[in-house]
Amino acid sequence: MNARPMPCSPQEIGKLFLFEKLTPEQLGRLCSEGRVDLFEPGPIYAEGAPATCFFVMIEGTVVLSRKVGGDDVEVVRTSQPGVYTGAMQAYIGDRVEQVYNNSMRVTEPTRFFVLPADTFANVMREWFPMAVHLLEGLFFGSKNSQRVIGQRERLLALGSLSAGLTHELNNPAAAAVRATSTLRERVAKMRHKLAVIAAGPYTREALTDLMEIQERTAERVAKATTLTPLEATDREDEITDWLDGHDISDGWQLAPTFVQAGLDTDWLDQVAAAVDPEILPGAIGWLNYTVETELLMCEIEDSTNRISHLVDAAKQYSQLDRAPYRMADVHELLDSTLVMLGGKIGQHVEVVKEYDRTLPKVPAYPAELNQVWTNLIDNAVSAMDGRGTLTVRTALEGDRLLVEFQDSGPGVPPEIRDRIFDPFFTTKPVGEGTGLGLDISWRIVVNKHHGSLLVESVPGDTRFRVLLPLTDEQSDETPEESE
């Protein structure tokens, strides 16, 4: 600080709106215990430094800024006499860490009335004891309310995720149950058909050929490819005609199963060539049960894999078995969050992933970053009213890792863009949002990860950009390496 002492006039400082109701004796005490300093253009104090003084501007121009990531963002620029800043919570004492909440500089020679923090605290307690109690209650009450509502925000998000996860788990679980029940029925029919075949006039060679065909059929089912609806319909017609031409009844019922299994008329020709004509209908019926059981087992496998994938995603999302601070792959975190939010995102939002998989791991609190992703994705889906395109992008931007969420919604109006990160500010209808999602996200990214959270928005293209440092030089903790 480049300050030059100046005379302190009780009459002059008494004209400032903060002191205009004070008595001459009180103004005299302020001048005797405080001072007037003239500052040349330049910085006066830095954000985060110990708050040692309370400043009231007499004349000049002051600029206040806050650090966002590595950048200083201007929040106030004014030439209004009487504006104040600095150790404004000094009356609370050591119950709160007394540091400057912003950085201050002046752009022209500027005079301040400066009061040491201890003197400011003593004056407040002596002259305004009731006001101090009220201010303390307001300060701590606001902090407590913000903490409680922040916890509620997390619980609401958890409840929403739990409901979505339950829905997502229910679908494959129900499919597995249905497939298992049907499989039991088909295996029972298969046993019956096997008994019929065993009792029939089939030679050992014919049965051997039938078993070989069954094995080849099972292999075909495992390698089946998905056809378009038109291709599937054409193949069903071909197979139905083939079955009808070989006097096999109910061919139209068998055809869809064969098509789903990836079988065609060439395969049927191979079956017909391998068995005698008189046993062909029985062989086709036996193979139909084989195909059905293979398809049902594939369905059960797909369903259980889906359940396992969802459980893994929930485990990754919650980070319950991981170190709270560690080197993390943001792509794993993003994928687990997208899986967890799948039900909420819905079928009408196209999710596009533009990942740079070569990016390194970053030091992070993964569970808290997952909360940031959740808030930003939820806001994007809400802004698009459940219809549109959500693009999740990662890239290297300078010496920081970028995670960007882009939505095709109507955009953030310019008149509210500066307020969206404010606590309790929300554009959602009453009862649908607490207004803390972006505030919490900002605190996690900026305060806890020393990164940046920025927004760029025009109609049809809104982007929330999270920039994270690649190293942990600014952290007091040492990140653990993930397994």
Mean pLDDT of the chain: 78
pLDDT for residue 434:
44
Residue 422 banded pLDDT, cuts 50, 70, 90: low
Rounded Cα gap, residues 67 and 40, in angstroms = 23
Question: Whole-structure pTM over 0.75, yes or no?
Answer: no
- Residue-wise pLDDT tens digits, 41-69: 999 888 888 888 899 999 999 988 876 55
Taking residues 374-391, what's their average pLDDT?
89
Percentage of the chain lying above the pLDDT 90 cut:
16
Place of tokens 């802004």: 383
DSSP strands (E only) in 165-234: none
Percentage of the chain lying above the pLDDT 70 cut:
74
Cα 306 to chain center, whole Å?
Answer: 21
More confident residue, 295 or 334: 334
Per DSSP, the residues of 4-19 read EEE---HHHHTTSTTT
Taking residues 322-351, what's their average pLDDT?
83
Residue 264 banded pLDDT, cuts 50, 70, 90: confident
pLDDT for residue 392:
95
pLDDT for residue 310:
64
| CA max distance for the chain | 123
H/E stretch holding 254 reads helix 251-260
Span of 20-24, 78-82, 93-97, 439-443 with lowest mean pLDDT: 93-97
Rounded Cα gap, residues 373 and 33, in angstroms = 51
Per DSSP, the residues of 304-349 read HHHHHHHHHHHHHHHTTTS-SSEEE-HHHHHHHHHHHTHHHH-TTE
- DSSP 3-state assignment of 59? strand
Cα three-residue angle 105-55-36, rounded to 5 degrees: 100
**The architecture CATH gives domain 323-481:** 2-Layer Sandwich (3.30)
- Residue-wise pLDDT tens digits, 169-215: 666 677 777 777 777 777 777 677 667 666 666 667 767 777 777 77
Residue 311 banded pLDDT, cuts 50, 70, 90: low
What separation in angstroms does the CA of 373 have from each of 18, 149, 437, 444, 465? Answer: 43, 19, 10, 11, 11
Listed in order, the ranges of the chain carrying CATH 3.30.565.10 are 323-481
Span of 158-167, 247-256, 400-409, 428-437 with lowest mean pLDDT: 428-437
Listed in order, the ranges of the chain carrying CATH 2.60.120.10 are 3-127
State the fold for domain 3-127: Jelly Rolls (2.60.120)
Taking residues 263-284, what's their average pLDDT?
81
